[in-house]
């Protein structure tokens, strides 16, 4: 015997509101945040070791971490229209 509203029908015809995170995803993010917060000192120590041994790898590691906290660059286009920008010095 079938249960529920049937194929193609839902109990919530409007669906989940846009931007509402999945419960499982939300819980997973909260757990990962707690794990990372508990590892801050270890992460700092590991980065210091990398910095001492290989400064280039240290910079690479920092650059990868920055992508999680800094906003991403957005490419602003003008639809093919050219824009001329002129910089002039200000009078003191």
User: Are 60 and 50 contacting, i.e. CB atoms less than 8 angstroms apart?
Assistant: no
Task: Look at residue 83 in the predicted model and tell me its pLDDT.
Answer: 73
Q: Which residues contact 36 (CB under 8 A, 6 or more apart)?
A: 43
Residue-wise pLDDT tens digits, 79-92:
667 777 787 787 76
pTM of the full structure? 0.51
CA gap 2, 9 in Å, rounded: 13
3-state SS, residue 7: coil
Residue-wise pLDDT tens digits, 17-50:
888 878 898 899 999 999 999 999 999 999 999 9
């Amino acid at each position: 015997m079938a249960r529920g509203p049937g194929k193609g029908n839902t109990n919530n015809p409007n669906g989940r509101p846009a931007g509402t995170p999945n419960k499982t995803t939300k819980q997973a993010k909260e757990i990962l945040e707690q794990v990372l917060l508990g590892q801050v000192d270890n992460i700092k120590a590991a980065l210091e070791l990398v910095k001492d041994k290989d400064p280039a790898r240290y910079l690479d590691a920092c650059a990868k971490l920055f992508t999680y906290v800094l906003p991403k660059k957005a490419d602003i286009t003008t639809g093919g229209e050219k824009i001329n920008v002129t910089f002039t010095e200000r009078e003191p």
